[in-house]
Amino acid sequence: MEAIGRSVPKKESFDKVAGSAMYTADRIEPRTLHARLTISPFAHARIAAVDASEARRSPGVRAVLTGDASDVLIGEEIRDRPVIARDRVRYNGEIVAVVVADTEAEAMRAANLIRVRYEPLPVVNDPVEALRPSAPILHEKLAEYQKGEGVVSIPGTNVASIIRVLKGDMDRGWAESETIVENRVSFAPSDHAAMETRSASAEIRPDGHVIIETSTQVPFAVKKFMARYFGIDPGWIVVRTPFVGGGYGGKTAIQLEAVAYLASRAVGGRKVKLVNTREEDMLTSPVRIGLDATVRLGSTRDGKIRAAQIVYRFDGGAYNDKSSDVARAAAADCSGPYGIEHLHCECLTVYTNHTFPAAFRGYGHSELTFAMERAIDALADELKMDPWELRMRNAAVPGDTAPTRDRLTPSNLGDIRTCLNRVRSLAEWDDWQVRQVNEHTVRAKGIACFWKNSSMDTDATSGAILLFNSDGSVNLVTGVVEIGTGTKTVLAQMVAERLRMSVDRVHVKFTVDTLDTPEHWKTVASRGTFLAGRAALKAADDAIRQLKSIAAVVLRADPDDLELAHDKVFVRADPAVQIAVKDICYGYKYPNGNAIGGQIVGRGYYTQRRMNPLNPATGEGTPGPEWNVGAQAVEIEMDTRDCSYRLVKAISVNDAGKVLNPKGALGQVTGAMAMGLSYASREAFYYTDNGTVLNPTLRDFTLLRFGENPEYVVEFIENPCLDAPFGARAMGEHGLIAMPAALASAVSRAAGVRLNRLPLFPETVWRAKNGGIG
Amino acid sequence: MKLELNVNGEVRHADVRPAELLLDVLRENFGLTGAKPGCRNGDCGACTVTVDGWPMKSCLMLAVEAAGKAVQTVEGLGGTPEQTAFVEKFAFQCGYCTPGFIMNVHALRRIHPQADEAAVRDWLQSNICRCSGYEEIREAVECVLRSRPPADNEP
Ligand code: FES
Ligand code: FES
């Protein structure tokens, strides 16, 4: 009967293997019109003229929209982005025109007939270039844009956001340091590459309701921001999201929804559907952020880090959207899981002529971790110390403070030391030095640690509803989007555990419909089990109270004397006095026909306690609830002739707090590990000097494929988080975070050269080894 | 043009453009949305169906080319060992790649019931799963190939 800690298969399993699970673009309706995009082939250009006359005459075309369709600027942190480019394009792939036609093929044909005359402008191709005084300024109106709380821009430059995180006294820190190292890392933007490309449809009903169906992780944010952007009261907007075919943070930005809405408005409110092609999904829709970072560490001779100075130059892309917030999350946790007393971090998010970024699994943390862990390896080299030992000596413990000056406790901080100890033994770290396998082959290992806090709005809330069926089973309704993490199954397990019933009798509503689903802030930041879990448990408690109060009347007993278990309410001291839940969950009917009560509906909500935003000038604040940690290792085998390498083994030890669904948790962690390894070894966009993307397809943007993965070793330790349901800590992103750093560590060791740039293509490694740059 | 197709053992009719992809006809005309578009370029395998028992990326085949052949989609399987194994081994997360993988494995079992590790790798490299680390998929495939009656297992 126990539901928690059991590998309950995903509730939607049979639908998914039968092909009947519906994703946004699977809704096929003859009345729907179809939209296709014309996108910019330039990274930066003035739009001199758009001639849509031929497109308008093309068969089946119902409307053509260009930049003048709307002057609304959108963007979550800074409202700097037109829905359709006006006058100027700032990235390769930016939407220049939208065609609406009866069929997709007709829309596509017409989109190709739109003639745009561009006048190319000089391009900003990376964040370092963006900061040069001579760089073209991408947003002259930066001062005028509406900005979110805590966003500090520097108008007249390309700095969209600047944040400083300061702690302790740097002069003292450097004075106490006997060894100082500086290390610089960089990587270009890359793609989430979810197998389902993004899609959205919009319809404006005759009564004024705006109905949006979208492949998103954030239906409630879509509702909120669409209301704000287009001046519609939120009650008139309904957002629906069925299953989502992978998100990884990429489906958190609002983009196609606004396009579909404008398109629908242009055709009298008819339903318009827009599905990204793969190329658009990679070029036009948001990517993963790029970074160039410098980390300077000062330490005593015996390896106690006294000072850290960190500069982040995040590639914020052509429009800010969430990039400054991803950067903020990185800055807030910039030290990694180490207790460093004296700290100075300057975090810049700059405009470039690249596609704008969205959240990406880890939300700034694999980025900060790569920068910090590579510096720690450099320090270990300098100190001639075992890199594991160096990490162990500096691991953060309760009593230390975070960069935000939050005090760390056993509950809000995972147990990094135990993770490190376990990784040491699983990785057989004692022989961590490079091992010669044969003449041309070496084996090498790398380790890295991570921590991650979850960034969220300080008032982020989640709700849950439990509706009883007449057979005593329940329907669970929450606003969590099922993006593949199995969260809704885990929530059902929690409810079953609390109601002491079989998880098979907890039915789950998968589609989120903002009309009748309680709000769940966003399906991001691995917060589903925490926020919605607390809400679902409250809803269960609410239902239990109601069941007991009606049972008390029927059984003529005090409600406090009653227990609920095995689909019955009974007197604790005399279980024979009992009534079945199914006989009271729709009210109770006496033998003579009289009835009392009604359908039991449990409800609950949860909001995180005592959160406050980060002060952008000092970094003080409590932007997240707890730091979850882990230690990871990678072993590779390298052919020293050409630097090609094979992933042999990848190890992750995570502090899970409590493992709620073992197989599900394992899948989350190994999936994230694979993504981290794939990202670090082969994924990046390649830009021409003109800022256009060379590889916007899955043929030349290569992802890890079957059989290229290493052997995975995953272990969980369980050091509970007191606030979390059953003590469970966040899990969905954490397997990824230190993988790039651990891989770079192993590959560097094997090649005998310090590698600080991703991805680690054999050719890149070979060049670095043979005197080029890594 | 008018087209007659044999899909999942049923004769189906559609009025399509000659340039229409099999993938689109399955989805738009027949509502068989189990076949998923992921790239329309042959790179991801999400659209995999079987044609006369062989796995075929339905984005790389014109609908007209499928005339006179037996097309099977995931909707036509109805409880095969592949489907059960994918559930039991937790071999999917978001599930978007799943129909394509299952159709591929289904064909693999028919064509190469004795497939060794290298053959499995060869076949499954045509599909991408972005959520999992492929380990659970490997377990599911192994379970499918190994669970046949022992006699069949002899070389
Ligand atoms: S859609 Fe056919 S292979 Fe990707
Ligand atoms: S389960 Fe999501 S892509 Fe495979």
Q: Whose atoms come closest to the Cα of B101: which ligand?
A: 2
Same domain, yes or no, for A45 and A110? yes
Q: Which of A191, A195, A739 to mutate to test the interface with B (most CBs of B within 10 A)?
A: A195
Cβ-defined contact of A17 to B127 (cutoff 8 Å): no
Q: Is residue A661 part of a domain?
A: yes
Cβ-defined contact of B132 to A664 (cutoff 8 Å): no
Residue keyed to tokens 């993307």: A693
Same domain, yes or no, for A103 and A42? yes
Same domain, yes or no, for A634 and A746? yes
Q: How far is CA B150 from the centre of its chain?
A: 26
Same domain, yes or no, for A249 and A274? yes
3-state secondary structure B44-58: CCCCEEEECCEEEEC
Q: Encoding tokens for residue A734?
A: 């954490």
Task: Choose the residue to mutate in B21, B33, B36, B41 for probing ligand 1, maximizing ligand atoms within 8 Å of C-beta.
Answer: B41
CA angle (B8 as vertex; B6, B13 as ends), nearest 5: 40
Same domain, yes or no, for A495 and A548? yes
SS3 assignment, position A740: helix
Asked if A43 and A92 count as a contact pair (C-beta separation under 8 A), the reply is yes
Q: Whose atoms come closest to the Cα of A245: which ligand?
A: 2
Q: Encoding tokens for residue A313?
A: 């130059």
Q: What is the pLDDT of residue B155?
A: 34
pTM above 0.90? yes
Q: Encoding tokens for residue A55?
A: 């497109």
Quote the CA–CA distance of B123 and B115 in Å, as a whole number.
Answer: 10
3-state secondary structure A358-410: CCCCCCCHHHHHHHHHHHHHHHHHHHCCCHHHHHHHHECCECEECCCCCECCC
Q: What region, left, alpha or beta, does residue B65 occupy, with left being phi > 0 and alpha being psi -120 to 50 degrees? A: alpha
Cβ-defined contact of A17 to B33 (cutoff 8 Å): no
3-state helix, strand, coil in chain B (%, to 5): 40, 15, 45
Segment-wise mean pLDDT, segments of 10 residues, chain A, 774 residues = 90 96 96 98 98 98 97 97 97 98 97 98 97 97 95 98 97 98 98 98 98 97 97 98 96 97 98 98 98 98 98 98 96 97 98 97 96 98 97 97 94 95 97 94 98 86 96 97 94 97 97 95 78 96 98 97 97 97 97 96 92 91 90 98 97 95 96 97 97 97 97 96 90 93 98 97 94 60
Asked if A333 and A211 count as a contact pair (C-beta separation under 8 A), the reply is no
Which stretches within A581-701 are classed as H helix?
Answer: 662-682
Q: Is residue A667 part of a domain?
A: yes
Q: What is the pLDDT of residue A458?
A: 84
Number of structural domains, chain A?
3
Quote the CA–CA distance of A20 and A28 in Å, as a whole number.
Answer: 13
Cβ-defined contact of A195 to B128 (cutoff 8 Å): yes
Chain A, nearest residue to B101 by Cα: A17
Query: What CATH number should be reported for the domain holding residue A425?
Result: 3.30.365.10
CA of B144 to the centre of ligand 2 (A): 19
Same domain, yes or no, for A298 and A407? yes
Q: What is the pLDDT of residue A303?
A: 97
Q: Which has the closest alpha carbon to A195: A281, A95, A287?
A: A281
Q: What is the pLDDT of residue B148?
A: 61
Q: What stretch of H or E contains B82?
A: helix B81-88
CA of A553 to the centre of ligand 2 (A): 50
Q: Which has the closest alpha carbon to A451: A486, A485, A417?
A: A417
- b/e string for A739-752 if b means 16 or more Cβ within 10 A? bbbbbbbbbbbbbe
Residues contacting residue A494 through CB under 8 Å, at least 6 positions apart: A3, A4, A529, A533, A536, A537, A540, A660, A725, A726
| pLDDT above 60: residue B154 | no
pLDDT band at B151 (very low <50, low <70, confident <90, very high): very low
Q: Encoding tokens for residue A531?
A: 């926020």
- Cross-strand partners of A631: A449, A653
The parent domain of residue A422 ranges over 290-456+611-769
CA of A194 to the centre of ligand 2 (A): 8
- b/e string for A525-537 if b means 16 or more Cβ within 10 A? bbbbbbbbbbbbb
Residues contacting residue A442 through CB under 8 Å, at least 6 positions apart: A434, A435, A436, A637, A638, A640, A750
Nearest atom, ligand 2, residue A194 CA: 3
Same domain, yes or no, for A600 and A634? no
DSSP B90-110: T--SS-SSHHHHHHHHHHHHH
Minimum-distance CB partner of B44 among A16, A195, A663: A195
Cβ-defined contact of B135 to A705 (cutoff 8 Å): no
For the segment B4-15, the average pLDDT, to the nearest whole number, is: 97
Q: What stretch of H or E contains A555?
A: helix A533-555
Q: What is the pLDDT of residue A524?
A: 76
Nearest atom, ligand 2, residue B95 CA: 1
Q: How far is CA A500 from CA A507, A544, A617, in A?
A: 15, 10, 50
Residue keyed to tokens 């081994």: B89
**CATH superfamily of the domain spanning B81-146:** [2Fe-2S]-binding domain (1.10.150.120)
Minimum-distance CB partner of B46 among A195, A486, A666: A195
Same domain, yes or no, for A304 and A409? yes
Pick the last residue of a domain from A607, A626, A644: A607
Q: Encoding tokens for residue A209?
A: 């309701």
Q: What is the pLDDT of residue A525?
A: 65
The CATH number, out of the four listed (3.40.1000.10, 3.10.20.30, 3.40.50.2000, 3.40.50.10470), of the domain defined by the range B2-76 = 3.10.20.30
Q: How far is CA A176 from CA A401, A405, A451, B31, B39, in A?
A: 19, 21, 26, 70, 56
What are the structural domain ranges in chain B? Answer: 2-76, 81-146
Quote the CA–CA distance of A273 and A31 in Å, as a whole number.
Answer: 11
Pick the last residue of a domain from A221, A248, A283: A283
CA of B76 to the centre of ligand 1 (A): 19
Rg for chain B, CA atoms, rounded: 16
Asked if A536 and A462 count as a contact pair (C-beta separation under 8 A), the reply is no
B149 to chain A, closest Cα gap in Å: 23
Residues contacting residue A108 through CB under 8 Å, at least 6 positions apart: A36
Quote the CA–CA distance of A370 and A378 in Å, as a whole number.
Answer: 12
DSSP A427-486: TTGGG-S-EEEETTEEEEEEEEEEEEPPP--TT-EEEEEEEE-TTS-EEEEE----SSS-
Q: Encoding tokens for residue A495?
A: 């409810």
Asked if A380 and A386 count as a contact pair (C-beta separation under 8 A), the reply is yes
Quote the CA–CA distance of B147 and B133 in Å, as a whole number.
Answer: 23
**Do the bridges between strand A512-513 and strand A562-565 make them parallel or antiparallel, or are there none, so unpaired?**
unpaired
Q: What is the pLDDT of residue A625?
A: 86
Query: What CATH number should be reported for the domain holding residue A103?
Result: 3.90.1170.50
Q: Which has the closest alpha carbon to A206: A236, A180, A173, A242?
A: A236
Farthest CA pair distance, chain B:
49
* Residue A417 burial by Cβ neighbours in a 10 Å radius (0-12, 13-18, 19+): middle
Which residues in chain A are closer than 8 Å to B138, comparing Cβ atoms? 706-707
Asked if A719 and A657 count as a contact pair (C-beta separation under 8 A), the reply is yes
Same domain, yes or no, for A255 and A276? yes
Q: What is the pLDDT of residue A730?
A: 85
Q: How far is CA A60 from CA A37, A64, A85, A106, B24, in A?
A: 15, 11, 24, 6, 18
Q: Is residue A151 part of a domain?
A: no
Quote the CA–CA distance of A310 and A372 in Å, as a whole number.
Answer: 9
E strand segments, A199-276: 199-204, 210-214, 237-241, 272-275
Q: Is residue A774 part of a domain?
A: no
Pick the last residue of a domain from A607, A632, A662: A607
Same fold, B2-76 and B81-146: no
Q: What is the pLDDT of residue A358?
A: 96
Same domain, yes or no, for A631 and A706? yes
Cis peptide bond upstream of A759, omega within 30: yes
Same domain, yes or no, for A439 and A588? no
Q: Is residue A174 part of a domain?
A: no
Same domain, yes or no, for A316 and A238? no
Residue type, B49: V
At A231-265, the pLDDT tens digits run 999 999 999 999 999 999 999 999 999 999 999 99
CA of A368 to the centre of ligand 2 (A): 27
**Do the bridges between strand B70-72 and strand B48-51 make them parallel or antiparallel, or are there none, so unpaired?**
antiparallel
Q: What is the pLDDT of residue A608?
A: 85
Asked if B101 and B127 count as a contact pair (C-beta separation under 8 A), the reply is yes
Q: Which has the closest alpha carbon to A699: B23, B102, B126, B19?
A: B126
Residues contacting residue A626 through CB under 8 Å, at least 6 positions apart: A411, A412, A413, A414, A453, A454, A721, A723, A724, A729, A730
SS3 assignment, position A250: helix
Quote the CA–CA distance of B37 and B60 in Å, as a whole number.
Answer: 11
